[in-house]
Amino acid sequence: NFVIDHNGPDIDYTTIHIWPQNWGWYNPSNPSTYPGAETQSINYLRKHASMANVSLNKPLVLEEFGLARNSNSYDPCSATTYRDLFYDAMFAEVYFSAEDGNAAVGANFWAWAGEGRPLVPYGSTWEPGDPWIGDPPHENQGWYSVYDSDASTLNIISAYAADMYALGPIPGDIQLDRDVDFIDFALFAGHWRASACGQCGGADLTGDGSVNADDLALFADNWLMER
């Protein structure tokens, strides 16, 4: 139960997984099933983000999601057309939610294999001594792995990461309006040379417990910056 499982003072954020193939929404051997699977995945994400917001007032992370390579191939050289579509759709949902201040604020794709590759014949389960490529040992190796050679997928991941990074805090934006301006400077100046003051109202930009020349330099780097 999503609400009950996350409803506790020591739980800071909520999580969900989305596995269209595992749940029978998508059949890689029948690409015509993809559009419906994407719609179901988006609806699932939105439903749980709404519950996280309304019932729990907590953020949500899409903790696991993935899709098979074209035709359910385990060959690292096979195409990733539908996986790329799926990643793009999930990342977009999370990004626009975060941009609008809604509950969904992060995503972790499954899974990074990097330079690792499954053994031939492809699709076997893991045995001791085999490369680690992200897929659990009991599952077919290469099912959801993302390799360092998957250029199109990596471009999508990199673009999402850059977009999310741009939503992050701007050093010096003390009033949190995505702009470093004279109001922020006035707030900063009120804590100038303060020490042992905790967060110092957000003016301790370096996080060292004091507001000093290092903080001033960081503030100056972002002066009149707006995102």
**What are the C-alpha distances in Å from 197 to residues 191, 205, 208, 215, 223?**
9, 13, 10, 14, 23
Render pLDDT for 192-224 as a digit per residue (tens, 0 to 9).
Answer: 877 666 667 788 888 888 888 998 998 898 887
Residue 202, pLDDT score = 83
Residue 227, pLDDT score = 62
Q: What mean pLDDT do residues 44-58 have?
A: 97
Query: In whole angstroms, what is the distance from residue 32 CA to residue 44 CA?
Result: 20
Q: Report residue 73 as tokens.
A: 């191939």
Q: What mean pLDDT do residues 1-20 have?
A: 96
Residue 208, pLDDT score = 85
Residue 196, pLDDT score = 63
Q: Report residue 99 as tokens.
A: 């941009």
pLDDT confidence tier of residue 133, bands split at 50, 70 and 90: very high
Residue 65, pLDDT score = 98
Residue 226, pLDDT score = 63
The pLDDT mean for the chain works out to 93
pLDDT at 175 over 90: no
More confident residue, 205 or 51: 51
pTM for the whole thing? 0.80
pLDDT at 190 over 80: yes
Render pLDDT for 79-125 as a digit per residue (tens, 0 to 9).
Answer: 999 999 999 999 999 999 999 989 999 999 999 999 999 999 999 99
